[in-house]
A and B are shown apart, each in its own frame.
Chain A
Amino acid sequence: MERNLFDEEHDAFRATVRQFMAKEVVPHMPEWEAAGMAPRELFKKTAQIGINGLQVPEEFGGAGVDSFLFNTIVFEEIGYAAASLGGLQVHLNTVLPYFLEYANDEQKARWFPGFADGDLVASIAMTEPGTGSDLAGMTTTAVRDGDDYILNGAKTFITGGINADLVIVVARTGRDGEDRRKGLSLLVVESGMEGFVRGRNLDKLGLKSSDTAELLFDHVRVPARNVLGTEGGAFALLTSNLAQERLSIAITAQATATAALNLAIDYVRQRKVFGRRVADFQNTKFVLADCATELEAAQALVDRAVTGLDAGTLTPADAAKVKLFATETQARVVDRCLQLHGGYGYMREYPISRLYADARVTRIFGGTSEVMKSVISKSLAL
């Protein structure tokens, strides 16, 4: 169905991103997957075409766009190309909003020009070896010492953690009675700070072109001027951006599932078995018709959510529904599209196998499907 979110400027920007992906990303995917990450220089190139600076205010060299539609286009095009750039996605869609919303003037002047021109890319470190879904249970601590905080703890599964120049670390700076949600703060740790150690680039099932790291903080002295937002108020800050973060995952899920459908369509038209094209079997037609229908439904939901995000009406429960639906749809669609490839679909040289492996995690990160269901059920006031 025709989508009605975009106008001419969006289409022109999409054309640029598509051309960029085809030339600068797709040919390098095998190499980057083997290396376990995309090179840092790529984010300078994406900055040149204006991707990094989209939402950075104009006074700092960005474009000052409020709308999320241009980000949507970027990550749709990455998905349609059957590629993935996790570090960039987390930087732009998850981390940057915290800076945009909570950085004070001094912090803006210090970091925003680098965000716009690609000199700075940031990650966010919430998850710890012992705590993921249960964020409030984290054990990383930051203790005030004069003008600094002394940060101690370990984080894991941090997207972009190897490449990142800045990492927002969520740490406990205090306790406030029984409420575990109080007393968490956001500290911006910079590359090169003493005691900040990057561990392994973790060996994942999929998403192999993005780095996912363990990070260790051993008595890292973080200046108090690197605290983002109010001390002790991080939990509220973290939940305030969840809608966009989850929608962003849904957008990528939808785009990569669409890519899977297109790959399957191309494949079944060419592949011959029993003297016929795979496309000629009624089963193939029905399977692909189902996929196309489910994708249409998920797209309608995603598009409505993007509009809602721009309008400021998308609630955390709405976003949870969209993430749940889009990622579960992606899983079904990609699985069936791989099936139609037969054994070739299981070979890494076929992009469908990459999409299959990449798809598995979208039901886990950014909050698991089960966590989405708890968020949604809370909104039902049961």
Chain B
Amino acid sequence: MKTLRIVVCVKYVPDATCDRRFADDLTVDRDDLDGLLSELDEYAVEQALQIKEAVDDAEVTVVTVGPEDALGALSKALSMGGDKAVHVEDDDLHGSDVLGTSSVLARAIEHTGYDLVLCGMASTDGGMGVLPSILAERLGVPQLTQLSELTVKDGVVTARRDGDLASEQLRASLPAVVSVTDRSGEARYPSFKGIMAAKKKPVETLDLSDLGIAADEVGLAAAWTKVDEAAQRPPRTVGTILADDGSGGRQLADFLAGRRLV
């Protein structure tokens, strides 16, 4: 067994540059949507790889809870340098909220074995940003969230969280859950060799029964959040055009002031 088992939670999200629609049950319609590894999770993968590179005997497992295509997100994380992957996939997961997803993730992470769990600061689609905290509660371990810097040494994670007014120095003993921000350091690109190596890395696929979770504990019906209504955002309207007849500056100031923007 490796002395430092790092697990990175990565989410497969719809490509934000594509048009998104809702399905009849008011969940995001994921059919025909191109998906990818949530960009903010790349930072978590990067930090995991840096920690691994700094110690002798570490291993990085990437885990996702998501549909069949979510394998794409795992492949990318593996081609960046992760060692193995766990994919939790089950039709009954459809419509799970953050509580459902976090309990599935917790089981999967326990199943894998871990010393340090790394998450992104928020997904680029759901964007709740609370999953890491809920996950830490479910695992019963300390949490350090929204980190811009972290190091792991002798079973302790030392980190910095930058707020608007102050930077906090934080510390927790392992095992622990941490989340990192987009200021933690640019993520590497998967290299050609990384992509070729990823093909040969093990991916374990698990369903709910493998994790001992009953179908009615997760999914849309078990979600604590219920979406009553959803509407497509109306097309953008033409903005206000101010003609500069010499008083352009004043008009602009009035416009901004009228919307309480200055």
Give the interface of A toward B (CB within 8 A): 9, 12-13, 15-16, 19-20, 48-51, 53-54, 63, 70
Partner of A51, one of B76, B192, B194, B196: B192
- Chain A residue with the shortest CB-CB distance to B199: A9
Give the nearest-CB partner of A63 in chain B.
B192
Contact yes or no, A12 B195, CB < 8 A: yes
Query: What residue of chain A has the Cβ atom nearest to residue B192's Cβ?
Result: A50
Interface residues of B (CB under 8 A from A): 75-76, 79, 188-196, 198-199
Bound complex: CA A176 to CA B240 (Å): 78
Q: Beyond A63-B193, A63-B196, list 12 extra A-B contacts (CB 8 Å).
A: A9-B195, A9-B196, A9-B199, A12-B190, A13-B195, A15-B190, A16-B79, A16-B195, A48-B189, A49-B190, A50-B192, A54-B192
Q: Tell me the smallest distance from the CB of A65 to a CB of chain B, in Å.
A: 8
Total cross-chain contacts (CB, 8 A): 39
Contact between A50 and B79, CB atoms less than 8 A apart: no
A53 to B193, CA, bound (A): 10
B189 with A16: CB separation less than 8 A: yes
CB-defined contacts of A19 to chain B, threshold 8 Å: 189
Q: How far is the CA of A50 from the CA of B79 in the complex (A)?
A: 12
A16 proximity list for chain B (CB < 8 A) = 79, 189-192, 195
A138 and B183 alpha carbons, distance in the complex (Å): 56
- Are B75 and A49 closer than 8 Å at their CB atoms? no
What are 7 residue pairs bridging A and B, where the CB atoms are less than 8 Å apart in the complex? A12-B75, A12-B198, A48-B189, A48-B191, A53-B192, A54-B192, A63-B192
Chain B nearest CB, measured from A71 CB (Å): 11
Contact partner of A12 among B76, B188, B193, CB < 8 A? B76
Q: Classify the secondary structure of A's interface with B.
A: helix
By a CB distance below 8 angstroms, the chain A residues around B189 are 16, 19-20, 48-49
Q: Given the complex, which residues of A lie within 8 Å of B76, measured CB to CB?
A: 12, 15
Q: Which partner residue on chain A sits nearest B75 by CB separation? A: A12
A70 touches B191 (CB 8 A): no
Chain B residues closer than 8 Å to A12, beta-carbon distance? 75-76, 79, 190, 195, 198
Highest count of chain A CB atoms <10 Å: which of B75, B76, B189, B192: B192
Task: Sort A-B residue pairs by CB-CB distance and give the 7 closest, nearest first.
Answer: A50-B192, A50-B191, A49-B189, A12-B195, A49-B191, A16-B190, A16-B189
CA distance A63 to B79 in the complex (A): 15
Contacts of A50 on B, CB cut-off 8 Å?
191-194
Give chain A residues whose Cβ lies under 8 Å from the Cβ of B198. 12
Q: In the complex, what's the smallest C-beta–C-beta distance from A53 to chain B, in angstroms?
A: 7
Measured CB to CB, the nearest residue on chain B to A50 is: B192
Least CB distance from A222 to B in Å reads 33
Across-interface contacts of A70 in B (CB, < 8 A): 192
Shortest A7–chain B CB gap in Å is 11
Collect the chain B residues with CB atoms within 8 Å of residue A20's CB: 189
A49 to B193, CA, bound (A): 8
Of chain B, the residue at the smallest CB distance from A61 is B193
Residues of chain A within 8 A (CB-CB) of B196 are: 9, 63
CB distance from B57 to the nearest CB of A (A): 26
List of A residues within 8 angstroms of B195 by Cβ: 9, 12-13, 16
A63: chain B residues at CB < 8 Å are 192-193, 196
| Residue of B with least CB distance to A54 | B192
Alpha-carbon distance between A26 and B76 when the two chains are bound, in angstroms: 22
* Alpha-carbon gap, A16 to B77, bound state (A): 12
A9 to B198, CA, bound (A): 10
- Residues of B within 8 Å of A15, CB to CB, are 76, 190
- Chain A residues contacting B190 (CB-CB under 8 Å) are 12, 15-16, 49
Contacts of B191 in A (CB 8 A): 16, 48-50
CB distance from B42 to the nearest CB of A (A): 10
A54 to B190, alpha carbons, bound, how many Å? 14
> What is the CA–CA distance of A54 and B193 in the complex, to the nearest angstrom?
9
For B198, the closest partner residue in chain A by CB is A12
**What's the nearest-Cβ distance from chain B to residue A77, in Å?**
12
Chain B residues contacting A9 (CB-CB under 8 Å) are 195-196, 199
Q: Most chain-B CB neighbours within 10 Å: which of A12, A13, A49?
A: A12
A136 to B56, CA, bound (A): 59
Q: What is the distance, in angstroms, from B235's C-beta to the closest C-beta of chain A? A: 13
Task: Name the B residues within 8 Å of A48 (CB-CB).
Answer: 188-189, 191
Output the least CB separation between A369 and chain B (Å): 34
Q: Which residue of A lies closest to B186 (CB)?
A: A23
With the chains together, A20 CA to B186 CA distance in Å? 12
A20 to B190, CA, bound (A): 10
Considering the complex, give the chain B residue whose CB is closest to the CB of A10.
B195
What residues of chain A lie closer than 8 Å to B193, measured between beta carbons?
Answer: 50, 63
Residues of A within 8 A of B79 (CB): 12, 16
The docked-state distance in angstroms from the alpha carbon of A49 to that of B80 is 10
Collect the chain B residues with CB atoms within 8 Å of residue A13's CB: 192, 195
When chains A and B are docked, how far (Å) is the Cα of A15 from the Cα of B194? 13
The complex places the Cα of A9 from the Cα of B188 at a distance, in Å, of 18
Which residues of B have CB within 8 Å of A53? 192
Residues of B contacting A54 with CB < 8 Å? 192
Least Cβ–Cβ distance between B198 and chain A, in angstroms: 8
Q: How far is the CB of A13 from chain B (nearest CB, A)?
A: 5
Residue in B191, B194, B195, B199 whose Cβ sees the most chain A Cβ within 10 Å: B195
Nearest-Cβ distance from residue A55 to partner chain B, whole angstroms: 11
Among residues of B, the one whose C-beta sits closest to the C-beta of A17 is B189
For the complex, what is the distance from the CA of A48 to the CA of B75, rounded to whole Å?
19
Shortest Cβ distance from residue A100 to the other chain B in the assembled complex, whole angstroms: 17
Per the bound structure, the CA–CA distance linking A16 and B189 in Å amounts to 6
CA distance A54 to B189 in the complex (A): 16
Complex alpha-carbon distance, A15 and B190, angstroms = 9
Q: How far is the CB of A105 from chain B (nearest CB, A)?
A: 24
Measured between alpha carbons, how far is A311 from B195 in the docked complex, in Å? 24
**A19 to B190 alpha-carbon distance, docked (Å):** 10
Nearest A residue to B37, CB-CB: A15
